């Protein structure tokens, strides 16, 4: 039986988010598109903490790649169950890696053009620069830890050495993930009964397309929760808008001497029932 595709797990989401961001970036060599650690500023690259994270991340990635190759070879050769590769057999000591091979992602706006006046009273650093589809970064390889020297090997929002953010796109797989997320979320019991569910789904897809790449891997490795929260806000916003429009329609119907919507009648009956119950409890 063919393996089932798992579109809705954090590992696959992170992979597609990374690919999508890389399509808006350029690197001196494709091998530098993968980063081993994320830091907030240039100097943080040279700390022991950042190096440990880079060592562990790169070692885990190499081990996973070697395990995948061994597993494929075992599957292709219809190997015995007792000979099935184990992930633990491919792990190794991270400290054996060459420390000058680590790629650090530095979150920075230094290569993004300023855009004065975009915000009247900017409160965040990003509001002083051109509006972007995700937080910008540069990739570096440390050449000398003692002298704090590093070589830039890639940057986001760049094409042919110039600032650009129109040459990339999200991957097809990430787009499919967005659609599946919206579809599954819309099937929850608190949403699926609304007649304007399609509008909720449409607005949510638009929202994910606009802010999906804003997910910051430096802050979290759980994009599923990030997207679910965004869907909650999007669905609720449409619901509140529809309720407001319905209240206006009901008010007009009542002023014309006509019966309001069924839900308005139910709400009115519930309100009267509560008033009677409160009055009864006060008299006891």
* pTM summary value: 0.82
Give the Cα separation of 143 and 233 in Å (integer).
Answer: 45
Angle among Cα 95, 96, 102 to the nearest 5 degrees reads: 75
43-85: per-residue pLDDT in tens?
999 999 999 999 999 999 888 888 888 888 888 888 888 888 8
Residue with tokens 């929760």: 225
Assign 41 a pLDDT band (cuts: 50, 70, 90): very high
- From 83, 107, 215, select the one nearest 156 (Cα to Cα): 107
Helix or strand or coil: residue 166? coil
Mean pLDDT of the chain: 87
Angle among Cα 174, 157, 11 to the nearest 5 degrees reads: 30
Contact 177, 168 (CB under 8 A): no
Q: How many CA atoms lie less than 13 Å away from 202 in the CB half-sphere?
A: 4
Give the Cα separation of 158 and 148 in Å (integer).
Answer: 25
How far is the CA of 146 from the CAs of 48, 50, 143, 256, in angstroms?
A: 12, 14, 9, 81
Residue with tokens 């855009």: 115
pLDDT, position 107: 95
Residue 3 has pLDDT above 60, yes or no: no
DSSP state of 260: -
How far is the CA of 246 from the CAs of 189, 190, 194, 242, 251, in angstroms?
A: 21, 19, 13, 6, 8
113-150: per-residue pLDDT in tens?
998 888 888 888 888 899 999 999 999 999 999 999 99
Give the Cα separation of 181 and 175 in Å (integer).
Answer: 10
83-95: per-residue pLDDT in tens?
888 888 888 888 8
pLDDT, position 207: 93
CA-CA-CA-CA torsion sign (130, 134, 135, 137): negative
- From 19, 23, 1, select the one nearest 11 (Cα to Cα): 19
pLDDT, position 190: 86
Give the Cα separation of 95 and 135 in Å (integer).
Answer: 31
What torsion do the CA atoms of 204, 125, 133, 236 make, to the nearest 10 degrees?
Answer: 0
For the chain, which residues make up each domain, given as ranges?
25-163, 172-283
Answer with the residue of higher pLDDT: 255 or 89. 89
How far is the CA of 156 from the CAs of 34, 133, 161, 197, in angstroms?
A: 13, 11, 10, 37
Percent of the chain residues topping a pLDDT of 70: 92
pLDDT, position 111: 94
266-284: per-residue pLDDT in tens?
666 777 777 777 777 766 6
């Amino acid at each position: 039986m063919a393996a089932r595709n798992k579109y809705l797990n954090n590992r696959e989401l992170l992979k597609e988010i990374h690919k999508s961001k890389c399509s808006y970036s350029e690197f001196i060599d494709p091998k530098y598109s993968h980063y081993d650690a994320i830091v907030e500023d240039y100097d943080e690259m040279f700390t022991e903490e950042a190096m440990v994270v880079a060592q562990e991340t790169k070692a885990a990635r190499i081990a996973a790649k070697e395990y995948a190759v061994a597993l494929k070879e075992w599957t292709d050769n219809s190997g015995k169950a007792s000979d099935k590769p184990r992930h633990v057999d491919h792990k190794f000591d991270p400290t054996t890696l060459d420390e000058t091979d680590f790629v650090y992602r530095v979150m920075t706006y230094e290569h993004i053009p300023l855009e004065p006046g975009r915000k009247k009273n900017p409160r965040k650093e990003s509001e002083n620069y051109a509006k972007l589809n995700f937080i910008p970064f540069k990739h570096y390889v440390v050449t000398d830890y003692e002298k704090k020297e590093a070589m830039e090997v890639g940057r986001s929002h760049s094409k042919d050495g110039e600032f650009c953010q129109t040459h990339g796109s999200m991957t097809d797989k990430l787009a499919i993930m967005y659609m599946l997320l919206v579809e599954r979320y819309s099937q929850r019991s608190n949403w699926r009964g609304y007649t304007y569910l399609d509008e909720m789904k449409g607005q949510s897809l638009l929202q994910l397309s606009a802010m999906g790449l804003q997910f910051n891997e430096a802050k979290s490795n759980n994009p599923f929760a990030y997207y679910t929260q965004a869907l909650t806000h999007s669905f609720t916003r449409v619901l509140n808008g529809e309720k407001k429009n319905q209240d206006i329609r009901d008010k007009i119907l009542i002023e014309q001497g006509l019966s309001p919507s069924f839900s308005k009648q139910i709400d009115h009956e519930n309100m009267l029932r509560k008033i009677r119950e409160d009055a009864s409890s006060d008299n006891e």
